[in-house]
Amino acid sequence: MTATDKNFLTTSSKSTKVIGSVALAAGALTLIFGLIVAPPHIEQGQSARLLFVHVPSVIATYLSYFITLVGSAIYLRKKSLFWDRVAGASAEVGSVFCAVLLFSGSVWGRPTWGTFWVWDPRLTSTAVMFVSYLGYLAIRRMDMEPAARRRRSAIVGILAFVNVIIVHFSVDWWRGLHQSRTFEPSDVQIEGWYLLSFFFGTVFFVSTQAWLLIHRFRLSHLESQANAAKLDQLIDLRQSGDLGSAQTREKVV
Amino acid sequence: MFSDVRAVVRKDFLIEKRVGILKGRVLPLGLAILLVFGFAIPPDLAILGSERLVLSQIGPGLFWVSNFFVIIYLLDRSFSLEAEDGCLQRLVTDGVDGVAFFFGKLVAVFLGVSAVQAVLAVAAIIMFDIPADRIGLLLIVGLVGSLALAATGTVFSALVVGAGSNQGLMALLLTPAVVPVLLGAVRLTEIATDMSNDLSSSGWILLLLALTALYTGVGIFTFDSLLED
């Protein structure tokens, strides 16, 4: 394998290595401070430690879906493949974090509320948001002409962001079991070791989100290059008259 | 533009007259869904201290959920016909613009779902023993709710038209988008059937109208480019 082939096949770079290292360090510090140093909460006991996973996963989800919104809007305006791939990659990463936030919220809810799930406005709207982005990802895999598919997914990428706004303000608009926002820049409700653990948790989730986003973006770029290369090969074979053999076709496809 | 809208509505009306999808498939599907709900929830189940049976209390919700399934089928049928044999391309080459096409489909879907809904409403009132004294408000709720459902559904159907097997995909996209519409329609129906303590219906009607306006706006801005696809 030549050096060029190696470059073609990798999604790693100096920047991803740095971001990955930051994520690993922040993850380790979150574990140390969140599980060992921070004491159990006076009211919630050990389950309060889930705050260091749950709230940062919310931040990573919002950030990812916001990037999808921006990418979709820019794609519609400039028809740039770069921004379409950014939007798609970010929605995938965001959905992973959204699944983490739903799961961690359910695990926290069991000892606190006595149930894994309640039909609370915040929980329900988060589940709706998750499903709407799964719909966005499904539309990206729709079997149709690529430019049309990109345009339609960009429209859905913009429409789906309405759900993020609804989720964020749901605790203000409706009364439910879910507590009000944990972290408000103007009114920080946590302090001491909890604040530090929360900080490391946030750095871990946001850097992991950036790391995953870059890798997924590069992967989709490589996928399209590989598809184009396959197409070129098939055209060459057709021109040389060798496409009739099933073995040859199988080798290329 | 108005003649284009009328032509699209007339086209759908003629297709319905010849094929009879609404009365032959969509309406029976809606009735079957209502029947299934009747089997899923014990008909004699009542909450302690309540005069009404559970089926009667949650009847408005069941009615709108059946409407939701009906509209998914109706939209799929309506838009898959457009994708067949290059119908959409023909409309474009005939000079029908996207906005006129959007309004034509919206009106056709709205009329179709309203017709089916009228029969389903009578069936639900009888089967679930829903009080229907405030007929005027129920009519308004039905019309506003159908309009909001039709506007949301028309936009999302257009997004998946032309894709291979799009029924599942359309349901996946439409379900989260239609949640506020269903929420508003169910609350309004509860108010109209005296099942809610909330006496103010204007807020919910405004919500449904705002959603209709939002999705109509999205349709106006996107249908031209979607037709070109």
Mean pLDDT on A82-108: 95
Look at B176 and A129 and tell me if their CB atoms are within 8 Å: yes
- Show the domains of chain A with their CATH numbers: 15-220 (1.20.120)
- pLDDT tens digits, one per residue of B100-152: 889 999 999 999 999 999 999 999 888 888 887 778 888 888 999 999 999 99
pLDDT on residue A130: 95
Look at A144 and B229 and tell me if their CB atoms are within 8 Å: yes
Interface predicted TM-score of the whole assembly (ipTM), two decimals: 0.80
- Distance separating alpha carbons of residues B31 and A205, to the nearest angstrom: 49
Element at A184 (helix H, strand E): strand A183-184
pLDDT of A7 above 60: no
Where along chain B do its domains lie? 2-228
The alpha carbon of residue A67 is apart from the nearest alpha carbon of chain B, in Å, by: 20
Class of residue B65 by CB neighbours under 10 A (exposed 0-12, middle 13-18, buried 19+):
middle
CA neighbor of A55 nearest in space, from A107, A10, A100, A19: A100
Look at B169 and A142 and tell me if their CB atoms are within 8 Å: yes
- Residues of chain A with Cβ-Cβ distance to B166 below 8 Å are 142
Segment among A108-117, A174-183, B122-131 with least mean pLDDT: A174-183
Look at B169 and A139 and tell me if their CB atoms are within 8 Å: yes
Interface check A96 vs B, CB under 8 A: no
pLDDT on residue B132: 78
Query: What chain A residue is nearest to B164 in terms of C-alpha separation?
Result: A143
A to B CB pairs, distance under 8 Å = 53
The pair phi, psi for residue A182, each rounded to 5°, is -70, -40
Query: What chain B residue is nearest to A133 in terms of C-alpha separation?
Result: B173
Look at A144 and B163 and tell me if their CB atoms are within 8 Å: yes
- Residues of chain B with Cβ-Cβ distance to A119 below 8 Å are none
Interface check B210 vs A, CB under 8 A: no
The alpha carbon of residue B121 is apart from the nearest alpha carbon of chain A, in Å, by: 27
